[in-house]
Amino acid sequence: MRRLPPVLLEDGCPRDLISLIRTILAACKEISFRVSQGALSGVLGSTLDENIQGETQKKLDVLSNQLLKDILLESGYVKAIASEEEEGTVAGNPEADYIVAFDPLDGSSNTDINSLVGTIFSVMRVPKEADASDPAIFLQKGEQQVAAGYVLYGPSTMLALTTGKGTRLFTLDRTHGSFLLTQDFASVPAQTQEFAINASNQRHWQAPMQQYIADLLAGKSGPRGKNFNMRWIAAMVGDVHRVLCRGGLFTYPADTKNPDKPYKLRLLYEANPMAMLIEQAGGLASTGEQRIMEIEPQQIHQRVAVILGSKDEVETCLSYHQ
């Protein structure tokens, strides 16, 4: 097993990008510790506040956001940051070359039941002359990401990372505090018999997704001619990790439950980084209408439908939407 920096240097990854990624991981190691302490450190439960998304904040949401925000802005490596927990962007070093968008604690509702949660991040480059206080610098297509990843806080703390040359998996070795490479070049199998979806929203889905899931549930006697298993962790980071490890399809489709918010997942700091990780591992990522990483963002908290995972199964799902 190799430590993180040598692996990135072998890929020709710029040293300043390596330093930025190491800064993100320093915060994630602290978040991992706080999550693992749970009730012992009094960080479980909700605050009395809502974030910009209209969601009740968990104590660990606030703590995780502050840790990432402070360490990134103090590092000098970022021109600005954007977070799920911040209404707008926050300016950093005007001379820096990178911006970072992140979901500080995806699946935070799982913290109270000791289930999977994680941090998702996206790194993009910006010109030095760009205005650090202008949110428009974040409105870049996912194709322009220079790095993307997540840190999963589970039985072990794991990092999935891509800098555009494949997706690698690392595990945090707590004996000396480094992320060690444990899977070089993850590969998502093209075919699968496993899918993940929030089935409680079934009655609100659009007709193509209704029919697709119905055909999966019909099993061997249905039009697909094989049985499928459904899995749902209620944290995108956990469901996508399963897809990276053994294949599958993950989707959070459009629904009519709330006409003002037909989509659940945020483009910049959830859909785009996960799409890059999946595509770099041989999978596909789409909204049902277009490739996720080709979307031109209109705002930093923009939401989109997500269908990603095993190539053949995603293509089958998309055929229902055509």
Q: Which residues are documented as binding site for substrate?
A: 106-109, 198, 264
Sign of CA dihedral 77, 82, 83, 86: positive
Say which residues have a Cβ less than 8 Å from residue 45's Cβ, sequence separation at least 6: 58, 59, 112
204, 256 contact by CB (below 8 A): yes
SS3 per-residue string spanning 57-83: EEHHHHHHHHHHHHHHHHHCCEEEEEE
50, 56 contact by CB (below 8 A): yes
The CA distance from 313 to 39, in Å, is 40
Binding residues for Mg(2+): 84, 103, 105-106, 270
Question: Which runs of consecutive H residues, i.e. helices, occur in the chain?
Answer: 4-10, 15-37, 59-75, 207-217, 236-246, 272-280, 311-321
232, 196 contact by CB (below 8 A): yes
Which of 107, 127, 99, 110 shows the shortest CA–CA distance to 38? 110
Question: Which runs of consecutive H residues, i.e. helices, occur in 96-235?
Answer: 207-217
Binding residues: 84, 103, 105-109, 198, 264, 270
User: What are the two backbone dihedrals, phi and then psi, of residue 183, each rounded to the nearest 5 degrees?
Assistant: -150, 115
The CA distance from 126 to 209, in Å, is 37
* Unique residue bearing structure tokens 């802005």: 73
DSSP class of residue 3? B
| DSSP labels, 246-284 | H--EEEE--BSSSTT----EEIIIIIHHHHHHHHHTT-E
Tokens of 317: 């799902």
